């Protein structure tokens, strides 16, 4: 975090964009800690919430776009060769492949909140040649939820951001993941109920 703080203090939003893009690609950057910290800096400056949100979202999407292209163009040999250097071990790759095969685009949306998955789901989407529009929607939805969650947590807790990060690392992420999963399932069920009722009402 000392390096992250130095970069943010000297290069501001540019450093924020680059750090998040590199973190998604797989470079060891403390993404969630970074966003909680930046969120805390939006209370009294030097960052502002709306610009910070836009930059975090742009950085995340840039990293996911690059990872998707690399996965599509190069494929698994890249992970086999350089994965260990980025802490993407064969075991983690295999686990993520099972997750991706089971949940498809949903694994991209919620993979942001599962340690070790967000760095791999985008590569796997490219390797499986997932349709670009489907990937863009899933990656964009996940990035929006992810950035909004951790940046807002930092904004709410302010100077207590270190305590918030410790809680997130100990047990917070599974709780957030579970909550978002419940919201997604509930939203999907509600959507289909409303759609069914609208069709029923139109039927003579």
Global pTM reads 0.73
The predicted structure's pLDDT at residue 51? 93
**Buried residues in 9-35 as b, exposed as e (16+ CB within 10 A):** eeeebebbbbbbbbbbbbeebbbbbbb
Residue 201, pLDDT above cutoff 90: no
Cα–Cα distance for residue pair 160/167, rounded to 1 Å: 11
121 band by pLDDT with thresholds 50, 70 and 90:
confident
**Buried residues in 68-101 as b, exposed as e (16+ CB within 10 A):** bebbbeeeeeebeeebeeeebeeebbeebbebbe
172 band by pLDDT with thresholds 50, 70 and 90:
low
């Amino acid at each position: 975090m000392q390096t992250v703080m130095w970069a943010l203090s000297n290069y501001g939003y540019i450093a924020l964009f680059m750090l998040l893009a590199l973190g998604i690609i797989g470079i060891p950057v403390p993404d969630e800690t970074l966003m909680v910290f930046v969120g805390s800096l939006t209370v009294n400056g030097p960052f502002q919430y709306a610009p910070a949100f836009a930059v975090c979202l742009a950085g995340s999407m840039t990293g996911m776009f690059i990872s998707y292209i690399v996965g599509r163009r190069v494929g698994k040999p890249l992970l086999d060769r350089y994965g260990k250097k980025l802490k993407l071990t064969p075991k983690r790759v295999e686990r993520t492949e099972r997750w991706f095969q089971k949940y498809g685009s949903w694994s991209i949306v919620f993979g942001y909140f599962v340690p070790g998955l967000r760095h791999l789901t985008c590569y796997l989407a490219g390797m499986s040649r997932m349709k670009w529009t489907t990937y863009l929607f899933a990656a964009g939805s996940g990035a929006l939820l992810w950035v909004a969650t951790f940046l807002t947590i930092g904004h709410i807790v302010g100077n207590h951001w270190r305590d918030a990060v410790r809680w997130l690392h100990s047990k917070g992420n599974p709780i957030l993941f579970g909550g978002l999963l419940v919201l997604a399932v509930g939203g999907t069920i509600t959507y289909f109920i409303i759609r069914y009722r609208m069709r029923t009402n139109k039927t003579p």
